[in-house]
Amino acid sequence: MSAHSPYVEVNVDCLAGPSHHYGGHAFGNLASMQSKKQLSYPRAAALQGLEKAKLCMDLGIPQIVLPPQQRPALDVLWQLGFRGTDEQIIECAFQEAPKLLSACYSSSWMWTANWATVTPSPDSFDGRLHLTPANLVSQFHRALEVPQTLDALRRIFSNRQFFEVHDCLPCNWALADEGAANHTRFCSVYGQPGLHLLVYGREGWSEQEVKGLQTEFPARQSRLASECIARQHGLRCDRVVYARTSSKAIDLGVFHNDVASVGNQQFFLYHAHAFENTGRVIDALKRCAEGLQLDLFCFEVSEGVLSLKEAVKSYLFNSQILTLPTNEMVIIAPSQCQEMPKAKQVLDELIAGNSPIRDVRYVDLRQSMQNGGGPACLRLRVVMSQEQMGAIPQGILLTPRRYERIKKWITTHYREELKFEDLRDPELMKESNSALESFSTSEFSC
C-alpha cells in the first residue's frame, strides 16, 4: 500500500430499528434513565439518523449507512427459558420479564461509536487497518448486539490484504470494552501517523472497583481492556496516552468519554472535569504530539462557562467534528446546544476565535438523544486509503439515490409511535422482520 495514497475518514452509521423504544436499561446514562417507558417515535428516530448521515454526505464526507439488526432476539429469549411459538414467547416474556423482552427489542446498535475500536493502517504494526469489536459486557442489552455487529464488520472489511477484524476481548468485567466512544485519534492529516487517547473509568483488577465503591454509577471501560487493544493493534507506546474519566464526570452522567470530550485531527474540545487531573492529561498529549510534530489545539471549557451537568444535558461534547474536502472543520451539534444559551455560546466562540472550527450545523436527533445518543454516538470513524475504500462493498455507501430509497423504506415500514406495552404485540415482530426482508439485496448485504 502506498504511503502517499490519500486517506479519508469514513463515517459508519446504522439505522435505528422499527422497535426503537425507551427501555431505560442504561444505568448511569441519565437520558436513558429519565426516558424509561416514554412514548417513542421509531419512524422519526430512523429518519433523524438518516438526515444526519445525509448532511455528512452533502458536506463531502464518505458515509456508510447500514440496515438495522434483527430484532427481537428470540434466540436469547429461548436461551433464557421461554418456550412455545414466537408469539407465545413474546407474550410470556412480556408477562414474566418485560425488561428482558425490552432488552431483546432494543435498538441500541444505532450508536455505532460503540461498535469497535479502530486503528488505521498508518499506525498499526503491519500496515493494515485493525478493528476490535467491543464486547459491551457492562450492559446486557448492548451485549446482545455484538454477534451481529461482528458479522457486519467482517463482511464489510473482509479483504485480509487491507483489514484485520479481531475477535472481541474475552467477555469479562475486567476486560469491559465500550469501543470508539472512549478513543480519540489525533493527527495532522488522516494519512499521517497519529496519537491515540484511550480513556477508561477503572483499572480492571481492583477489588474496590469490583465492589463498586468508587462511583455512584458504574465505570464501564477498563484500562486493562484499552491496553489489550493497543497491544493487539500494535500501537507504539510513545503514541498512546491513557486517561481516566473523573469520578465526578461518571456520577453526572458521563458514561462514555465522548460525553465530555471530542477531538478531530489536531483539535481537541474537552470539559475541564472530563478527566482525573485533566491538566496532566493535556500535558501528556502535548508531549506525545511533539514527537509527531503535531501542533495540538486544545480548547478547554471550564465549569464556570458550562457546568459538566449542563454539558451532559446539552451533549455539546457529543458533537461530530468533520474535516471537509476544503480542509476546513465543521461541527455537527445536537439542536439542544442551539437551545441552551451557554452551550451555544461555546460553539459561537469556537467559530469566532482562532480554532480550526469554521462552521456549526445543528441537527435534530431528539429520538436518539432521549436515549443518550448524540451525533458522535451515531457514527464509527474509520480512516481508510483509496485502495482500502475500493476494497469494501460500494453498495453500502450513501448516495442521493440510496438516501431516497432508504427514506421511502423507513416511511413505509416503521410505526409512527410505539408505547412500551406495544412490545407484547406480535405484529411488531412481524413488521420488523418484514422490514428487513424488504431491503433490496444490494442495500442490505455487505
Enumerate the active-site residues. 178, 256, 377
Q: What is the dihedral of CA 401, 403, 406, 408, to 10 degrees?
A: -80
Collapsing DSSP states into helix, strand and coil, what is residue 10? strand
Q: Choose among 26, 46, 39, 14: nearest CA to 141.
A: 26
Q: Name residue, grid cell 451537568.
A: 309
User: 103-139 burial by CB neighbour count: b if 16+ within 10 A, else e?
Assistant: bbbbbbbbbbbbbbbbbbbbbbeeebbbbbbbbbbbb
Respond yes or no on whether the N-terminal peptide bond of residue 72 is cis (omega within 30° of 0): yes
Which DSSP state fits 395? G
Task: Report phi then psi at 269, rounded to 5.
Answer: -110, 125
Q: Choose among 148, 54, 39: nearest CA to 403.
A: 54
Q: Choose among 61, 66, 39: nearest CA to 50.
A: 66
The CB density around residue 326, as the number of other CB atoms within 10 Å, is 10
- Tell me the CA distances in angstroms from 218 to 105, 112, 252, 295, 386, one per residue in order: 23, 21, 11, 35, 41
The packing angle between helices 426-438 and 86-96, to 10°, is: 130
- Integer Cα distance of 262 and 188 in angstroms: 16
- Integer Cα distance of 24 and 394 in angstroms: 36
Cα Dmax for the chain: 64
Which DSSP state fits 40? B
Amino acid at position 375, single letter: P
The CB density around residue 304, as the number of other CB atoms within 10 Å, is 8
Task: Report phi then psi at 222, rounded to 5.
Answer: -100, 145
